[in-house]
Amino acid sequence: MVYFSVLAIAAIAIYWIASSGKRKAKKRQTIASIPFPTEWRKILRKNLPFFYKIPADLQLQLKDKMQIFLSEKQFVGRKGQDITDEVRVTIAAQACLLLLNRNTDFYPFLKTIVVYPAAFITRHAQFDHNGVKTQDARVLLGESWTRGQVVLSWRDSAAGGSDFEDGHNLVIHEFAHQLDGESGVTNGAPPLNKEQNYQEWSNILSEEFKTLQSQARKRQDSFLDKYGATNPAEFFAVCSEVFFEKPTELKKLHRELFEQLKSYYQVDPSQW
């Protein structure tokens, strides 16, 4: 009797999970079918000139994903930062660029985007070898937490959208960390699609990472930002910025790295 009760509970659980997924998909489909607001179009035109350089089908897809993203994520302002449609749309457009053509659950662990007017100070507890606790204060432009939060400077988020050719983009960087963390740990190895090979990904990105570390130690010039030499997670985020903003140069100078990112993100910005 107990055995059958356990089976019944398991069956109910499986049904609930499956039906929950279907409800979520249907809700998202409904949201994406709503006409894209005219005011949001004006914001795209003003703040995100890159939007009109990507293919028309990707423009439509990006707008659909933005609407779903904005319906599911909460924006919170700090230090007097107002959360307007301009703030929300400008950040969402850049964040959703990383989701194009991909089977995605829209940053499933992310719940809140915290926005400061500009750079902000964070304080993290540290303990020395004697166990004495101190506060480590750092000035940051952005931060990505595995506990459901991305923190951004609005000034730098807006600047990244308006200049999409300098190879630096705060929103792409922090949201690449979110993708990376979907594996359960942020280590530069996000969950890959079924066409990709983890060993090949590891070999190519590890070799490129070591090269950048060597260039940083020797203070040599490098195409990739040396902040990427900090650790594999930062390397993946830095590479993601360059992939979308300087794809032609990346393809020319780091062909294998470009191809891995192209397979992962399922788009080819060098064709835009």
Task: Give residues with Cβ within 8 angstroms of 1, minimum separation 6.
Answer: none
Name the pairing type of β-strands 133-140 and 149-153. Answer: unpaired
Mean pLDDT of 155-172: 97
What residues does CATH 1.10.472.150 cover in the chain? 32-184
Please check whether residue 236 is in contact with residue 186, taking contact to mean a CB–CB distance below 8 angstroms.
no
pLDDT at 138: 78
Higher pLDDT pick, 189 / 17: 189
Res. 19: pLDDT tops 60: no
Q: List Cβ<8 Å contacts ≥24 apart for 58-61.
A: 58/100, 58/101, 58/267, 61/100, 61/101
Please check whether residue 75 is in contact with residue 87, taking contact to mean a CB–CB distance below 8 angstroms.
yes
Tell me which fold the domain 187-272 belongs to: Collagenase (Catalytic Domain) (3.40.390)
Alpha carbon distance 99, 74 (integer Å): 18
Q: pLDDT of 222-259, one tens digit each?
A: 999 999 999 999 999 999 999 999 999 999 999 999 99
DSSP E strand stretches across 117-203: 120-127, 133-140, 142-145, 149-153
Name the pairing type of β-strands 149-153 and 74-77. Answer: unpaired
What residues does CATH 3.40.390.10 cover in the chain? 187-272
Res. 103: pLDDT tops 80: yes
Q: Chain centroid to CA 202: how far?
A: 20
Tell me which fold the domain 32-184 belongs to: Cyclin A; domain 1 (1.10.472)
Q: Is the dihedral of CA 37, 178, 109, 171 positive or negative?
A: negative
Task: For residue 162, give the H/E element and its range.
Answer: helix 154-162
